[in-house]
Structure 1
Amino acid sequence: MIHVFRTSVISEKQVRQVEPFLKTLMSNEEWNFDLEDCDKILRVETEKVTPETVITLLKSQGFECSELSE
């Protein structure tokens, strides 16, 4: 399943800040940021990790994060 999140991550430096946590949480799943999008999108393709877990992870690192509805 693909989940799409609006975030406050605005730079590659910030992506590198959260990258180790995302890799630990989703070692076998695909994820990427689209910093060119106005909503600074994080796309996550996972069958195991819940949207709430991703939101909690980013918020614990000081970023805003909310799932976009389809």
Structure 2
Amino acid sequence: MRNVLVFKTSVRTDYGVNQVAPLLNQLLTPADRWNFDLEDCDHILRVEAQAVTPSVIIDRLQQAGFLCAELED
């Protein structure tokens, strides 16, 4: 079963998305999906994945210099 994870980030531009894309692709399988909504005020990252935890995604984005926090229901 896939988990849907939603994060508030400081990724504001396509350039920023291109910086984190390789990091996310390393973490996720080809069957997993991710996307950004840069028009949202929280610059949302949405991840659909089977075997990744929120803390791993947060750590990777923070290592790349971006803020990232999970948004919970």
Give the TM bin, normalised by the shorter chain. over 0.9
Look up the match of 1:11.
13
Query: Equivalents in 2 of 1:21, 1:65: separation in Å?
Result: 14
Which one-letter code corresponds to 1:54 in the other structure? Answer: I
Look up the match of 2:72.
69
**1:51 and 2:54 are equivalent in the alignment:** yes
Deviation at 1:27, TM superposition (A): 2.9
Q: Secondary structure at the match of 1:20?
A: helix
Gaps of 5+ in 2: none
The range that moved more, 23-32 or 52-61, is 23-32
Q: Secondary structure at the match of 2:24?
A: helix
Give the number of aligned pairs: 70
Query: Equivalents in 2 of 1:23, 1:47: separation in Å?
Result: 14
- CA-atom RMSD in angstroms: 0.6
Gaps of 5+ in 1: none
Deviation at 1:18, TM superposition (A): 0.6
Deviation at 1:47, TM superposition (A): 1.4
Report the TM-score when normalising by structure 1: 0.96
Report the TM-score when normalising by structure 2: 0.93
Identity of aligned residues (%): 50
